[in-house]
Structure 1
Amino acid sequence: MRFYGYTLLALSCLVAFSASTPALLAPIRNFASNGTQAAPSNFALELRGVIRQVPVGQLEKLVQTYLLNDVQFQGLIRVVNSMPAYRFIRQFGNQPEVRQLQQWVTQQLVLSGGSPKIFEYLELEIKIFNKYPYWSQIVNGIQGFQQEFVAIYPVQLIRSLLEPSSTQTSPLLSELWRRLVALRPVYERVIASPPGKTITGELQRLGLDVNGLDALIRYQFGWSNATWGAPSYDYSDYLYY
């Protein structure tokens, strides 16, 4: 079950890359301060290191607990897997800027000896029986799931590994971060579209804290720092054409 990609918005559209996507962009060449070409970083290994920080086992257990025992959460899953939600995700994924990012990531993975299959690590496998009897007593609706998810998912750590800093000096991860930040207008455009309003309205009706999820998404991709206490970006500096 690929709940992770569906739960995080728009996240699925940023990481679910097709291995058949053509590579159209030229690779980045890096030079040291003395003018000589620096040793290239390995994008596949670096990105795998970021992805491996996602606690898939804990998230899988959390999703399984709620999916098997919480009626309210089951309703949320039905909406996430509905045809309108599928069309909404496709709409986001088909935006030119998103497709350009997909092409670039696929190219860099191939050039570094990897493939988009590294994202398969994020897939969750949900079994149909409670592993522990007490699971049925610890669920607390959609809000309870959302609170537990936020406590488990290391949003600040993931961002620190992607965002350029004194410790993150990888030119390819920095370029990935720049391209992610530049997707903010796309996200806002799609969310404001009629399909986007329909889906977010339905999720809110079911009890999901849409504003909280939106804040997490915006923080994760550098579009905002609301509620996370970090200096704000001027995202227009990251736009590319």
Structure 2
Amino acid sequence: MRFIGCAFLAFTCLAAFPSATPVLLAPIRPYNGTVTPPSNFALELRAVIRSVPKDKIEKLIQTYLLNDIEFQGLIRAVNSLPAYRLYRQFINQPEVRQLQQWITQQLILSGGSPKIFEYLELEIKIFNKYPYWSQIVNGIRGFQTEFVQIYPVQLIRTLLEPSASQTSPLLSELWRRLVALRPVYERVLATPPGKVIAAELQRLGVDVGGLDALIRYQFGWSNVTVGNSFPNYDYADYLY
């Protein structure tokens, strides 16, 4: 599923400039017995990615893909040429390309590799593992209901969003850049191809509004999916 991996790509180059004035050194503070380990972006991002229950999602998709006619139609639509073109249009937006470059750069600088995203790749077998699978599918709405029950949207957002427990400067910068993609998302959806794909998904039975709310909450563009459980904020606070 392309949209799963697409969510976390990013990166822009940082430049250092020599100072024109003498450097003022901070006073040396006495050692207090504790050492804060340096931040490692590759390990931190790997922890976020590993929080996605890939095996459960893979099993759910396999169950529906092999046994549910409605879901099979959805998969054909997702893999259609118009959908692929819309996907390429999104990832070729300048903001998205900058995000991809930034993530790649930071991963390399921290000793990692973009290959960590390979964890999100799905492998679907062509036979039912259990006979009862054919009796437990319930159309596209059934799939959506089961998906939101196993996908930890709040946990992933908690791992990315700056807070008292998430103080990583690079994860915080990644979050800021993800939040800044909201106009790109809305711009692409507003194009004629975007409207056509959204209409087709709705025709097939997808709860497009629910899917949109999930995406907006995941990337900090809205708090709609959690009601009053989390404090509200304006996504624009993270843009600068």
Q: Give me the TM-score of the superposition, normalised by structure 1.
A: 0.87
Residue 234 of structure 1 deviates from its aligned partner by 1.8
| Inter-CA distance 169–24: structure 2 relative to 1 (3 Å threshold) | closer
Tell whether the 8 Å contact from 2:12 to 2:99 is kept in structure 1 after alignment. no
3-state SS, counterpart of residue 15 of structure 1: coil
The one-letter code of the counterpart of 1:137 is: Q
Aligned to 2:142: 144
Q: Alpha-carbon deviations, 1:75-123, whole Å to 9, x = none?
A: 0000000000000001110111111111100000000010110000001
- Root-mean-square deviation (CA, aligned residues, Å) is 2.1
How far apart, in 2, do the equivalents of 1:104 and 1:83 lie?
29
Is 1:14 aligned to residue 12 of structure 2? no
How far 1:236 sits from its partner (Å)? 2.3
Count, aligned residues: 223
CA, structure 1 residues 156+27, in 2 after alignment: closer, same or farther (shift >3 Å)? farther
* Aligned mates of 2:175, 2:9 — CA distance in 1: 17
Identify the residue that residue 45 of structure 2 maps to in structure 1: 47
Name the aligned partner's letter for residue 6 of structure 2. C
The equivalent of 2:69 in structure 1 is 71
Please tell me the residue identity of whatever aligns with 1:92.
F
Q: CA deviation at 1:238?
A: 2.7
1:29-52 CA-to-partner distances (Å, cap 9, x unmatched) read xxxx9799x864100000000100
Per-residue CA deviation, residues 126-185 of structure 1 (Å, 9 max, x unaligned), is: 000000000000000000000000000000000000000000010000000000011111
Q: How far apart, CA to CA, are the structure 1 residues paired with 2:121 and 2:205?
A: 25
- Residue pair 2:9, 2:99 contacting (<8 A) in 1 also: no
Percent identity of paired positions between Structure 1 and Structure 2 = 75
Structure 1 residues 24 and 224 mapped into 2: Cα distance closer, same or farther (>3 Å)? Answer: closer
- TM-score w.r.t. the length of structure 2 is 0.87
The amino acid that maps onto 1:168 is: Q
> Does structure 2 retain, via aligned residues, the 8 Å contact 1:97–1:183?
yes
Q: How does 1:68-217 map to 2 (within 5 A)?
A: 68-217=66-215
5+ long unaligned stretches in structure 2:
17-25, 30-35
Check 1:202–1:53 CA distance in 2 against 1; reply closer, same or farther (3 A cut). same
**Contact 2:70–2:139 (CA<8 Å) still a contact in 1?**
yes
* Structure 1 unaligned blocks of 5 or more: 18-22
- Letter aligned with residue 51 of structure 1: I
Which one has a bigger Cα radius of gyration?
2
> Aligned-pair distance for 1:16?
5.5
